[in-house]
Amino acid sequence: MGKHTTLERYGSKTTAIGRVRGLGSAHGGAHHWLLQRLTAIGNLLLVTFLVVSMALLPAYDYAAMAGWVSQPLVATALALLVINVFWHARLGLQVVIEDYVHTSGNKFAALAALNIVAIGSGAFALASIARLAFAGAA
């Protein structure tokens, strides 16, 4: 009789050495899964707000757009949208990378690049919203 089950072949997934070698569960899956759902609920509210607003706004020229974005409530909603959307996108693209990039070095590089792009882009978007919002008050 050979070793048929994963447990028999590789031992328990929860041993310390297994985790160190990257063979076992990182025990972060449930956290990732839950955050993906929580940010999805946020997106449902915030992106729907943006999309419905875009459909109903009377004009799309600079004055109309900048005036709309610089309103305190709109600026707040857009800032929350940026944080929520970039977080959700980061979590989603992480799963895509983990599914298709199997070489550990490439996977690490792709995930590092994803973090830099997501956080950097989100910061730029927040700074842009802040400039519009605070310029409106000046």
Distance CA 112, CA 124 (A): 18
Question: Closer to other proteins at the Cβ: 20 or 62?
Answer: 62
Indicate which single residue of 37, 72, 98, 112 sits in contact with other proteins (rule: CB under 8 A). Answer: 37
CA angle 89, 59, 76 (to 5 degrees): 45
Indicate which single residue of 7, 96, 113, 116 sits in contact with other proteins (rule: CB under 8 A). Answer: 96
Q: Which stretch binds other proteins (CB under 8 A): 8-16, 18-26, 105-113, 128-136?
A: 128-136
DSSP, residue by residue, 47-87: HHHHHHHHHH-S--SHHHHHHHHTSHHHHHHHHHHHHHHHH
Distance CA 50, CA 43 (A): 10
Per rule CB under 8 A, is residue 83 in the interface with other proteins?
A: no
Per rule CB under 8 A, is residue 115 in the interface with other proteins?
A: no
Least distance in angstroms from the C-beta of 32 to other proteins: 14
Query: Are 130 and 74 within 8 A, CB to CB?
Result: no
Indicate which single residue of 7, 23, 38, 66 sits in contact with other proteins (rule: CB under 8 A). Answer: 66
- The residue whose two tokens read 């943006």 is 50
Q: Which stretch binds other proteins (CB under 8 A): 5-13, 18-26, 87-95, 101-109?
A: 87-95
Q: How far is CA 14 from the centre of its chain?
A: 28
Per rule CB under 8 A, is residue 47 in the interface with other proteins?
A: yes
